[in-house]
Structure 1
Amino acid sequence: MSTDTVLPDTAQRVADLLKQLGHEQSIVMLPATGKTSAEAAAGLGCSVAEIAKSIVFRRLSDDAAVMVVASGANRVDESKVAAIVGPLGKADAKFVKERIGYAIGGVCPIGHLEKTVMLIDQDLMQYQDVWAAAGHPHAVFKLTPAQLTSMTGAPVVDVALRS
Structure 2
Amino acid sequence: MSLENVKTHFKQWDREQDIMEFESLSSTVEQAAETIGVTPARIAKTLCFKGEGDTAILVVAAGDAKIDNKKFRGTFHYKARMLSPDEVLEQTGHAVGGVCPFGLANDLDIYLDTSMKRFETVFPACGSENSAIELTGEELFNYSFAKQWIDVCKGWQEEEMKETVDKTNDEL
Secondary structure of the corresponding residue to residue 24 of structure 2: coil
The question of 1:156 aligning with 2:149 is answered yes
- Aligned partners of 2:36, 2:85: CA distance in 1, in Å? 26
Which stretches in structure 2 are left out of the alignment for 5+ residues? Answer: 159-172
After the TM superposition, which segments of 4 or more aligned residues of structure 1 sit over 4 Å from their partners? none
Determine the structure 2 residue equivalent to 1:80.
71
Q: CA deviation at 1:62?
A: 1.0
CA distance in 1, matches of 2:122, 2:17: 12
Q: What secondary structure does 2:154 align onto? A: coil
| Structure 1 unaligned residues grouped into runs of 5+ | 1-8
State the partner residue of 2:99.
107
CA positional deviation for 1:113: 1.5
Q: Aligned ranges for residues 70-149 of structure 1 at < 5 Å?
A: 70-87=61-78, 88-149=80-141
- CA distance in 1: counterparts of 2:97 and 2:37, whole angstroms: 19
| 1:93 shift after superposition | 1.0
1:23 offset after TM fit, Å?
2.8
Structure with higher helix content: 2
Q: 8 Å contact 1:27–1:140 — kept in the other structure?
A: yes
Contact 1:25 1:142 in 2 (8 A): no
Pick one of 35, 54, 57 that aligns with 1:66.
57
| Structure 2 residue identity aligned to 1:161 | K
- Give the whole-Å Cα distance in 1 for the aligned partners of 2:87 and 2:47: 12
Summarize deviations over 1:100-147 as a string: whole Å, max 9, x none: 110011001122121212211112112111111100011111111110
Identity of matched residues, %: 27
For the pair shown, which has the larger CA radius of gyration, 1 or 2? 2
2:126 and 2:69 map into 1 onto residues whose CA distance is: 24
RMSD: 1.7
**Structure 1 pair 103–33 and aligned structure 2 pair: CA distance change class (3 A):** same
Normalising to structure 1: TM-score of the pair?
Answer: 0.86
